[in-house]
Amino acid sequence: MRSIAGWPRQFMAAFFCVLLSGVALAQGKPNVVVLATGGTIAGAGADVTNSATYQAAKVPVDKLIAGIPQLTDIANVRGEQVFQVASESLKNENLLTLGHRVSDLLKRDDVDGIVITHGTDTTEETAYFLNLVIHSDKPIVVVASMRPGTAMSADGMLNLYNAVSVAGNRESRGRGVLVVMNDEINSGRDVAKTINIRPDAFKSPWGDLGMIVEGKTYWFRRLDKRHTSTSEFDIDKIKSLPLVEIAYASGNVSDTAYRAFAQEGAKAIIHAGPGNGSVSGSLVPVLQELRAKGIQIIRSSHVNGGGFVLRNAEQPDDKYDWVVAHDLNPQKARILATVALSLTNDSKELQRIFMQY
């Protein structure tokens, strides 16, 4: 039997079949890029019993991916280390860097979806930011974990596997930025960290969008607000994010923080008030004074878990020319305000934006 380059013809035929089927299989699988930023999902503790005592942002992205060999069954995965930090340390500049990278990658035909591994502390901010500024219908999934990979019952491995499953699934397209944790698929717009030390930490006041179980997605609702391709904000046109600060108000609140924020050049102050974004009587004239100086005043509430700040209810927002953050918590209100102020400083336009996004 004649051979080719010394190898029996049958062997060569079998070799090329395997090679081509491998290529076909790779071509059949979605191409997912994992952008790593740090956090607990990349954390490491000293002992398996350390589920809450550990160092965040230690494990590199390639090790995270290699730690889950089953990923190769569901997608062609490659990783990029964008940052390696605990997410409470992220700055506006980091959001812009990450957003530009996501936007550039999603323009490529050989990228079908993106997973961002992230710290839990500001997942809700980053996910909302990307939901506002990335013009693509391809899946963008932010994933985190409440326990480091070194701990018993660590949640990061399954969270990351689920995130890649969702990011590679065409059914995930056009739903806005998603946050996948604890088998749930939440909207990056709605979700917040509501518990600071348990795996079921992330909740949306209006409910999750769906679930992911053993690599299969189950959808129950869609996000009603404008996002991604329907957004008027575009990361490719945003060069910087104006300074917006949050002042937390309780009983006995003083005007010190508000005046300090104005002094440092904040373009807007998020008033994180009790109840319906309530403003202490002693603070009203101060906020009116700051508004008169051109600083936007945005009333939000530090009461979480559903409901929204109602315009002109306990405060005459029309009269004072203030904006209400609607259902957004203070940290999400900051994200929307800084993105919106990159486009307009008109308070009526800002109010429209807070009602639509």
Numbered residues of the known binding site for substrate = 87, 120-121
Give the Å distances, CA to CA, from 254 to 201, 245, 295, 322: 32, 16, 18, 19
Number of residues that bind ligand DAS (CB under 6 A): 10
Q: How far is CA 127 from the centre of its chain?
A: 1
Q: Which parts of the chain fold into alpha helices (H)?
A: 9-28, 61-66, 71-74, 92-106, 123-133, 156-167, 256-263, 284-292, 317-320, 330-340, 347-356
Chosen residue from 47, 73, 80, 88 binding ligand DAS by CB under 6 A: 88
Which residue from 333, 327, 336, 330 is spatially nearest to 129, judged by alpha carbons?
A: 336
Chosen residue from 112, 121, 208, 245 binding ligand DAS by CB under 6 A: 121
Which residue from 131, 132, 154 is spatially nearest to 141, judged by alpha carbons?
A: 131
> Which residue has 């800002």 as its token pair?
350
Of residues 218-247, those binding ligand DAS (CB under 6 A): none
Task: Tell the smallest beta-carbon distance from residue 346 to ligand DAS (Å).
Answer: 34
Told to judge if 150 belongs to the known catalytic residues of this protein, a careful annotator would answer: no
Only segment of 64-72, 83-91, 267-275, 285-293 that touches ligand DAS (CB under 6 A): 83-91
Considering the rule CB under 6 A, would residue 87 count as an interface residue with ligand DAS? yes
**Cβ neighbours for 287, distance < 8 A, ≥ 6 positions apart:** 258, 269, 271, 279, 297, 320, 322
**Shorter beta-carbon distance to ligand DAS: residue 157 or 355:** 157
**Residue sitting closest to ligand DAS (CB):** 119
Considering the rule CB under 6 A, would residue 144 count as an interface residue with ligand DAS? yes
- What are the backbone angles phi and psi of residue 300, rounded to the nearest 5°? -125, 180
Chosen residue from 86, 130, 134, 177 binding ligand DAS by CB under 6 A: 86
Task: Tell the smallest beta-carbon distance from residue 61 to ligand DAS (Å).
Answer: 15
Sign of CA dihedral 98, 101, 103, 106: negative
Considering the rule CB under 6 A, would residue 39 count as an interface residue with ligand DAS? yes
Residues that bind ligand DAS (CB under 6 A): 39-40, 56, 86-88, 119-121, 144
User: Where in the sequence numbering do the catalytic residues fall?
Assistant: 40
